[in-house]
Amino acid sequence: MAGSGGGGAARRLTAVPAAGLTSADVRAALDGERPLAVLPAGPPAVVDAARAVLRPGEPLEPGADLVVVTSGSTGGGRGVLLSADAVHASAAATHDRLGGPGSWLLALPVSAVAGLQVLCRSALAGRPVTRLEVGEPLAAALDRMPGDGRRYTSMVPTQLRRFLDAEPGALSAFDAVLVGGAAADPALLTRARAAGVTVVTTYGMTETAGGCVYDGVPLDGVGVRVTATGPAGPGGGHVELAGPTLALGYRGDPAGTAAAFADGWFRTRDAGTLDAAGRLTVHGRLDDVVISGGVNVAPAAVEAALREHPDVADAVVFGRPDAEWGQRVVAAVVPSPGAMPELAVLRPWVGERLGVPAAPRELHVIAAVPTLHTGKPDRRGVAASIPQGAH
């Protein structure tokens, strides 16, 4: 493996726009020759914010070969410092778990770690990557992939749902469909597997070079533990991760690095539990918890329950201050075709499944759920778009 060392002249990032990223850029970073950062596509303000985090004009921290901007789903994005060795380790462990190297279909933004990892795995496997074009049918992209060997792709749950609705046969043609970036509804996974899709749920983040726990089981070399330290979560303790895929820290943020990385472990912001066999279940973000009437409510669980209702195609849940309850659960839902969701119907629907404290006390109908550059739902953006007091 080729990673950069800590000596010699100061190294600087090459910041490449997502649309202009080439396989040669990725290969040079993986060989430790030219540190890489990918600027997200989007409005100038989004690109400028990423550039400010990346600081391409400043000397790069020793050992870093790729710097990836996080989604900023709970605040400002951060630049995560990854070594080539960490990316090599992640790609090798992924291919070992899936059954060997193969050809990858890129269906995610390359500015986020999941999409960038598709390019890295392809480069390290010596296979060309196939890009899913905007609006292209999945079956058409499959026809352009190499016909020999295994075929993989990676997507977020929203994409899985859309392709399952439109092209279940194309999805089932992959040897594995990695699904991550957000919690996937159990009902969606069950439906996909019943349609013959080899779905592999992944858990990880930019700080772990992407997914490092597949179907609840850590990849080879990855350590997982759950501690009782930190704020109370929606279930379980504080998830911590270790292993060769860990990042070096945060760009230009030694204090943030010291707070998150210690003694070879990374402290996530997630709450979870480990069963007797060492299988991890993640219950939600510690900083996304809505505390209503003294009860911790996980927005992801409420979103999953809402999506099970026939009137709801998609949902985003967040909390707002409430004089009586401390916080109230607020739901923004995308209606199913021809439906008109109503609070009087959805509130008992959620309450029967998760308990009354989790039932939304406020409902808004939206046309679509906006996403961050990573493909994750923009929960903060939805909350900011709905004025206080609106119903």
Chain center to CA of 239: 16
Is 60 exceeded by the pLDDT of residue 250? yes
Question: Which of 249, 261, 273, 389 shows the shortest CA–CA distance to 330?
Answer: 389
Half-sphere exposure of 209 (CA within 13 A, CB side): 31
Chain center to CA of 5: 29
For the chain, residues classed under CATH 3.30.300.30 are 289-385
Residue 340: per-residue pLDDT: 95
Query: What is the band of 388 on the pLDDT scale with cuts at 50, 70, 90?
Result: confident
Torsion of CA 260, 85, 156, 317, to 10 degrees: 0
| Mean pLDDT calculated for residue range 152-166 | 91
CA distance to 61, 92, 101, 303, 331, per residue, from 96 (Å): 31, 6, 8, 33, 40
For the chain, residues classed under CATH 3.40.50.12780 are 14-285
> Are the C-beta atoms of residues 360 and 330 closer than 8 Å to each other?
yes
User: CATH topology for 14-285?
Assistant: Rossmann fold (3.40.50)
Is 70 exceeded by the pLDDT of residue 63? yes
Note the pLDDT tens digit of each residue in 108-143: 999 999 999 999 999 999 999 999 999 999 999 999
Domain at 289-385, CATH homologous superfamily: ANL, C-terminal domain (3.30.300.30)
Query: What is the band of 234 on the pLDDT scale with cuts at 50, 70, 90?
Result: low
Is 60 exceeded by the pLDDT of residue 391? no
| Mean pLDDT calculated for residue range 47-70 | 93
The residue to which tokens 């997502």 are assigned: 18
Alpha-carbon distance of 213 to 195, in angstroms, equals: 24
The average confidence (pLDDT) of the chain is 89
Residues 6+ apart with CB under 8 A from 285: 74, 269, 270, 271, 298, 300
pTM for this structure?
Answer: 0.79
